Every structure is written in structure tokens, then in C-alpha cells.
Structure 1
């Protein structure tokens, strides 16, 4: 069973929301129950977990009864440049062969949820795609999206049809893929898992239009670093922290936070428990740390109370005692003493 706690770019969700809206469903419908704060749509570098993106896909697929072609619409809207440094690594590759290496190494930086690997046999270059970990009810949509995006962007970058020999799809999905590749005139074959995309090896020696070997190496390194960073999961706990920090108000209720994340209160509590934490613990950690940072700058207790949205120092002091077990005044004095000692000993 795959873990879906690695992070994904919010641009994938923007496209899904556009497709949903075009068919009469608003963004709130496809975000329902996902734990995603809609504010992330306005963040150029916004990310969600893979699990959250799959939840959005499930809402979309369920809303439209897994309509054939819906994934194709999403794929046609997905431009290579939406994938940031991945697109630069691919387009600056010296030859098509190296570009396909970028595709198989860093597929997790794109729309794909499948594992990819290449294989050379005789005069054929194959890309295998294993998406068996993907929930079965989402598999057709996701494969449509990936294949439509791959073909569309190949044509845009290369200006010519890909040197495909044949396409072999598992799970009885060849018929769903036929509409994507009808203009390419390539055989589509049913097979057992995994999927296999077969290209003519001799034609992969062609240079990329924007080839730059030196910069390609740099972008490849950055792709590897990005892949590693996105592997750190954030989950619902991270989303709750982000909401708390934006609210800047220690009195925000659990119900308000759950509503902002498109979750029921019960679901939010359950998801936090599964991640080994609770709303109370997150609130204490988040606001306690923020209050400590403000107090350490020399602000008075009254000033910090005002900045954090409290009506006065007494209400803030009571909250701080719950977070940290001491009064904010005492914390400020101890912080000032420690800072003075550090200065003296330098």
C-alpha cells in the first residue's frame, strides 16, 4: 500500500477546479472533505499532499460518474511549464533520450502517481508505468490525464509526433486511451500490469530544441532536491498549523478551522489523531511559539495580546499559561535575562 503523504504542486488542483467549473461544479464541491484550505490556490508555490490531490480527483470523478474523457480535458490543460524546474530539466536535455530519463526519474514532480522506469531491448525503448497503487476508481481518470498531458506537451515542444511503436495498457484501459492517440496512428494493445509505452530507439538520438547540457545538469540536481523536499509529509496537521498562523488569533475555534479546511469537525479530529496529534496540541504549539517570539523581541505583554487578537492582557495571560505553564511576564523576564547573559559572554 502506497503512502500518499508526499507533497504535490497546487497547479494540478487549479486545473481540476477549472475542469469542474466548466462542467457546472464549483471549487467547493471538489474540495469538500479534503482538508485543503482554498487560500492555497492563491499561493504560486502552494503544495498539498498526494492524498489530498487524490481526494479532489475522487470528488471530481464521483461528481461526474467517472465520465470518459474528463481526464483528457485535464491533461489538455496541463502545460509542461506548470511543473517548474522539472520542465527546465526536460527542455534543456541534450537529446530526446536524456529527456525521457528526466521523465522516468522525476515523474512524481508532474501529474503522475505511477512509478516509471525505462528499458532498452533491441531497437525499442520502453517506458513502464506501474500505477497499481492508485485507487482503482481513480485509475482511468489519472491515466487519461497523464497520457493527454504527455502527448500534448510532446507536440508543443517537439513540433512533431512522438516515435511511438505501440502502446500497451493494463486494466482494460486501452479503449479509454484511444481518443487521446487517434491522431498518432499507433497500435493500442491490452496487457497485464504495468502499462508499457514503446518508442523507436533510433529516433531518440534527436537533439532537443532548447538543448543546454550544462544547465540540464544543474536543473537535474534541483529536481532531485525538490523531490526530496516534497517527500516530507505535511498532512492535515500542517494544514491546521497554517490556518492558525494566518488567523493570528488564539481564540479561533476548532469548528472554524475545520470549515476552512473543508472538513467536518469529526473528520478533522480523526485525521489529526491518525497523525499523532490533536487540535489542542497544535494550537498550543503554534500560538505558544508565536507568543514567545513576540515576547522575546521586547514587546510588552499588552502589545503581544493586541497583536494576537486578544481583548486585553488578562485574557492573553490566561491563554499563555495554558500553552506554556508560566505567565507571559515571567517568560519575558527570563528571556531578557538569558539574552543579557549571552551578550555579556560573547
Structure 2
């Protein structure tokens, strides 16, 4: 027997349906061909198969005659309406942590997305891919999600943050220029993977909505939910949390073991023990993050060496230069001039 598709959080499908009803569409027209009905409108915590959710967005584009329906709706939607995931992202201390937390806790809303941050520190890239349907089938919903998360990040940084590039796996015959103008960067359709690529220095931007205490509580709850779903990442999740906490404190020079442990709600001894069980250590994570960021800053930014040393939390240029020689066998200046 074919497996029944797992239900996903359908709050955004509910939002799109209500938007259409406010425009004068009938429930019958809104849900035609989606497999859903007006019952979705009254659910306090709506759920539906992913194909049905993306189908609502495709149907909305047809009814409104707007080929950019998902994108337009996303630009005007508050990410916090998504619930836990939205509040976790917006409570993060920096733009980079916003993106990492989005990737880590996306599973509390849906298990159909693969979000990648392995190239975030080194290249500023966050990527995504849908595991259940083709990009073309879900393109309205994909564009909605990209717009709603980007809009929240831009609002939280209060800087008009712009990526260097954006990519979508689906094809689009019109509307590309409008999306590029909004994101502030070239947008590629038919790309190998969906992605945003940000400037090195922009990942360090603080968020006006940051709240460390709230974030700690929300992440603990998010971890419980993921564990219940069999999705928790275990020890690698702790290492990523440490990396986030270190990243948030680097430029202030306060990224000590004690401070980071306190940010995560545990003692330095407990944190060290848990990281050792995971086969790593606080200082290994600190060094690897500093090295990745240093290489990226030197290759992709025009920041002065003293500025890079400051962003990485070093007391002076000489300390940074000594560390960089230990990592690469070269001085920062020589590495940049290659």
C-alpha cells in the first residue's frame, strides 16, 4: 500500500486561503483540486500534506492571475505567524544565527525540506531543497517561504541587508526582475539548488529582535519537538548551538567558555563533557569557526586586517596573524595577495 503523506504545518496555506476569501473568492474555488476543504480555515493548528499546501498556493496564483502570488504574499507576511520557528529565528542574536536556527529547527514545521548551512561560515550560503515534490510543482510556495524569511531577516537587521545572489531550482518566464529588485541581487532560476548567498560581514549583523533568554527557552522546546519526531541531531546539534553562541560573541571579545556555556544554560564543565562525548571541544569549535571566517573575510571582503582581527575577537592584529600562520602557514596579508 502507498504510504500516506505525513501531515505538515499548514498555517501558511490557511493564511493564503483566508487572503483569497478576503478578495471575494469562494471556499469551493479556493480549495478546488487541492484535496483540502473549508475545514482548514477553522483549525487552530492546521496540518495538511505538503502537496496540498503547495497546491493552495498554486491555486491562488491561478485565481488571482498573479504569477508572483507566493512572492507577493511572502513579502507582506510576518514570519512570527509561523509560530515557534519564526520566534526562534527572530530571537537570534545575529543574521548568521538567524539562518542557522532556521535550518536547524525547520523540522518543527515540516520535514520535507533539506536546509544546508555547511557553506554558511565559509561562503555565506544557505541552501534548500524539497524532498517530496519537484521545484516546479511547489514554486509558488517556495517563493513565498523565501520572501517571508528574507523579509523577516531584513526587518530584524534594520539595515536593508541584501544577498549577493539568490537561486531557485524551478524555471520562471516572468517576474524575475521584480524579485531581483526586492532581494537586491541577481536571481537565477533553474539553479542546481535553492540558495541565498550573503556577504561575509553581513552574517555578523545584530538583530534588533534578539532575545537571548527567550531564544534559550524556545530552542529547548524546539529540541524536544524534534526529538519526539525522531529528527533530533543529537551531539552535532549541540556543536552547532555552540558555534552560534560563539559567533554571536566573537566581535565583542566575550566568546569565552564560561559565557557560551551560560548562554546555553549549562555550566562550563557540563558543556565540555557533552562536547567531549560528541568528539569535539569548545576550543576546537572556536578555532574552526575563526579559521573559516578568516579565510572568507580575506578572500571575499575588503575589510582591513585589523578589522578582521576585531570581528574574530582577537585583542590585536599580531594575535590574529599568529593564529592564521598556525592554521595555514602563511600570514594573512600573503594569503590575501595570492
| Matched residue count | 230
Worse-superposed segment, 127-136 or 73-82:
127-136
**Residues 267-346 of structure 1 aligned to structure 2 (within 5 Å):** none
Look up the match of 2:28. 28
Displacement of 1:84 in angstroms is 1.3
Give the TM-score taking structure 2 as reference length. 0.57
Give the Cα–Cα distance (whole angstroms) in 1 for the partners of residues 49 and 141 of structure 2. Answer: 16
Q: After superposing the two structures, state which structure 1 stretch, 11-20 or 79-88, moved more.
A: 11-20
Once residues 62 and 138 of structure 2 are traced to their aligned partners in structure 1, the CA distance between those partners, rounded to angstroms, is: 13
Distance across 2 between alignment mates of 1:167 and 1:144: 11
Q: 1:138: Cα distance to partner?
A: 2.7
Q: Secondary structure at the match of 1:138?
A: coil
Corresponding position of 1:93: 92
The answer to whether the aligner puts 1:185 opposite 2:184 as a matched pair is yes
1:127-142 equivalences under 5 Å are: 127-131=126-130, 133-135=132-134, 137-142=136-141
- Which residue of 1 is the match for residue 194 of structure 2? 195
Alignment gaps of 5+ in structure 2: 232-338
Contact 1:16–1:57, Cα closer than 8 Å, also in 2: yes
Structure number with larger C-alpha Rg: 1
What's the offset of the Cα at 1:125?
1.0
Q: How does 1:1-346 map onto structure 2 within 5 Å?
A: 5-21=5-21, 24-32=24-32, 34-36=34-36, 38-61=38-61, 63=63, 67-109=66-108, 114-120=113-119, 124-131=123-130, 133-135=132-134, 137-173=136-172, 176-190=175-189, 192-227=191-226
Following superposition, the deviation at residue 209 of structure 1 comes to: 1.9
**Using CA pairs below 8 Å that are at least 6 residues apart, which structure has the higher relative contact order?**
1
- Relative to structure 1, the CA distance from residue 173 to residue 37 in structure 2 (aligned partners, 3 Å threshold; closer, same or farther) is closer
Contact 1:72/1:144 (CA < 8 Å) preserved in 2?
yes
Q: Conserved in 2, the CA contact under 8 Å of 1:15 and 1:74?
A: no
Tell me if the contact between 2:74 and 2:147 (Cα under 8 Å) persists in the aligned partners.
yes
Is the alpha carbon distance of 1:156 and 1:174 closer, same or farther for their aligned partners in structure 2, counting shifts above 3 Å? Answer: farther
Q: Distance in 1 between matches of 2:85 and 2:117?
A: 18
Structure 1 residues 86 and 4: alpha-carbon distance in aligned structure 2, compared to 1, 3 A threshold: farther
SS in 1 for 2:138: helix
Change (3 A) 1:28 1:222: farther
Q: Structure 1 CA distance, aligned partners of 2:9 and 2:169?
A: 27
For normalisation by structure 1, the TM-score amounts to: 0.55
Label 1:192 to 1:135 Cα distance change in 2 as closer, same or farther (>3 A).
closer
| Aligned-CA RMSD value | 3.5
